Structure 1
Amino acid sequence: MNRAPASLHRLSTALIALVLLALGGAALASRLGVRPISEWVDRFDASSIGRFADSGWWAAALGGVVVLSLIWGLSLIGSTLRPRAVDDLELDGSDQSGELVIAPKLIATAVADELSGDTMFQKVSARALDDRSRKIIRLEVTARPDRSYAEIVDRVGRATDQIREAVAGADVHVQAFIHLEKPTSAR
């Protein structure tokens, strides 16, 4: 999740927690007879609830709270469901302004296509994603069990170095995950 939605979720949770803690603390203080709070509760008019429910503004206020809660809740849910695609990268390039604009997804796909042609790997995938305001190109490979770890790391390391060279100057992190298949035992 990106930094902005994660902050919004944390602030929302903190606000609800503070309100619930305050209400719970006030209820406990009233039951235990803590002076100022128990006096405030004793002064509360129980018949006012009925008058509030009968007044016209109460229904409008309750409807407003419901609408506000729905908007708030749907925005929190929507912030976690939206895909977090990485914006295009501006690299030093060959156009007249001296910049080259490219989608990181294209770089990731090109590297995945190149590595998938290598018989060393059973499965290769590469994605460009945005994780908490960090642009990442993530390379995942599943290696065959008959290859040594040094061979696998050398090949994947060259690919990640190529990505780093391609996006030099841009704020992009490159990650590589290597999954090693277990060798099957001969019977």
Structure 2
Amino acid sequence: MNRGPAAWHRITVGLIGFLLLLVGTAAVLWRTDVAPVHEWVNRIDQGWAARTADTAWWPVLLGAVVVVAMIWGWRLIATTIRPGKVDDLLLDGSDLSGTLTVAPKLIASAVGEDLARAPALDRVVARATDDRGRKIIRLTVTAQPSHGYAEIASVVGDAVEDIREAVDGADIHVQAFVHLQNRTG
């Protein structure tokens, strides 16, 4: 999960956990007749809810709490709908404004298709992802052990350099992972 949404989820869970811990501890201390807590709970006015509901400011406060809860909840839901989606890149291009908009997933799929044609590679996965606030095009290749690392690295290295040249100046990183299968027999 990205850095921002992960922090938002952690803050939410931490806040709810802290409130539940506080209420639970107070309930246990009250039930066990611990002196200061038992006295504090017994001093709570039980008619406050009825009196508060009749005030003019209560509906405004309740409305504000509902709005904050809806915004908070929507942000939590929205962060789980599209995790890792990378926005389009703006590159120097040939339109009237001098920019070109390209989807990183299209770059990744084109490079993946090109690498899949290499006879030394068994499997190629190319993805565009957003990993904790960093836009990344990630190449993962698998090869048989009969091919040397230098051979595989040469093919993958050329693809990485092609991507870097194509997205020069854009805020995107390129990663390549090489998996050499174990020798059998």
Indicate how the Cα distance of structure 1 residues 83 and 26 shifts in structure 2: closer, same or farther if over 3 A, else same. Answer: closer
- The Cα RMSD (Å) is 3.2
**How far apart, CA to CA, are the structure 2 residues paired with 1:96 and 1:74?**
38
5+ residue gaps, structure 2: 54-62
5+ residue gaps, structure 1: 56-63
**How far apart, CA to CA, are the structure 2 residues paired with 1:161 and 1:42?**
72
* Equivalent in the alignment of 1:59: none
Task: State the 1:81 CA deviation.
Answer: 3.7
**How far apart, CA to CA, are the structure 2 residues paired with 1:28 and 1:151?**
67
* Equivalent in the alignment of 1:94: 94
* Equivalent in the alignment of 1:164: 164
Deviation digits for residues 20-42 of structure 1 (CA, Å, limit 9, x no counterpart): 1211332344326242x221223
Give the AA of the match of 2:166: A
Find the residue that maps to 1:146 and give its secondary structure: coil
Indicate how the Cα distance of structure 1 residues 179 and 45 shifts in structure 2: closer, same or farther if over 3 A, else same. Answer: same
Deviation digits for residues 62-121 of structure 1 (CA, Å, limit 9, x no counterpart): xx999x989966763553243532111111123332222211112111211111111010
* Equivalent in the alignment of 1:33: 34
Task: State the 1:182 CA deviation.
Answer: 1.6
| Percent identical | 54
**How far apart, CA to CA, are the structure 2 residues paired with 1:26 and 1:161?**
61
Give the AA of the match of 1:33: V
Give the AA of the match of 2:154: D
Is this contact kept in 1: 2:5–2:79, CA < 8 A?
yes
Between stretches 17-26 and 77-86, larger displacement belongs to 77-86
Find the residue that maps to 1:76 and give its secondary structure: helix
Indicate how the Cα distance of structure 1 residues 75 and 169 shifts in structure 2: closer, same or farther if over 3 A, else same. Answer: closer
- TM normalised by structure 2 equals 0.77
Task: State the 1:161 CA deviation.
Answer: 1.5
**How far apart, CA to CA, are the structure 2 residues paired with 1:98 and 1:125?**
32
* Equivalent in the alignment of 1:58: none
Q: How many aligned positions are there?
A: 176
Find the residue that maps to 1:159 and give its secondary structure: helix
Find the residue that maps to 2:101 and give its secondary structure: strand
Is this contact kept in 1: 2:120–2:144, CA < 8 A?
yes
Give the AA of the match of 2:170: A
Deviation digits for residues 112-138 of structure 1 (CA, Å, limit 9, x no counterpart): 111111101001121111222221111
